[in-house]
Amino acid sequence: MARYEEVSMSGYEEFTQVVEQHRGKTIFAYFSGFKDTEGKSWCPDCVQAEPVVREGLKHVGEGWVFIYCQVGEKPYWKDPNNDFRKKLELTAVPTLLKYGTPQKLVESECLQADLVGMLFSED
């Protein structure tokens, strides 16, 4: 059995529902560009960062939650008024954050295994 729970979804509404369902738990969220039916994302940095983030999951604590959230198609993401930008104050994808804290890694920081490991290791 996994030490943590992983939930994958697409869109801001689903993200908020999952966060609400896991209230009181330590939540990490990884925001990535939308993947097509072949599993390809429009975001090349997201493609490069995903294996680094997944490797870092070995540092996640017991009972924690890892959310993999696709932010949508490129035109939606580029809209400065999208919900991710306005309500979560995301500035770029990929972004990995510890929900409810200021701790986050953005873009190229998500490619650095040591930073990813440190974020996941902090209580």
Those residues whose C-beta lies under 8 Å from the C-beta of residue 50, and which sit 6 or more positions away, are: 30, 32, 94
The answer to whether 39 and 109 have CB atoms below 8 angstroms apart is no
Q: What is the pTM of this model?
A: 0.94
Catalytically annotated residues: 43, 46
Q: From first to last of its 123 residues, what are the pLDDT tens digits of the chain?
A: 468 999 999 999 999 999 999 999 999 999 999 998 888 899 999 999 999 999 999 988 889 999 999 999 999 999 999 999 999 999 999 999 999 999 999 999 999 999 999 999 876
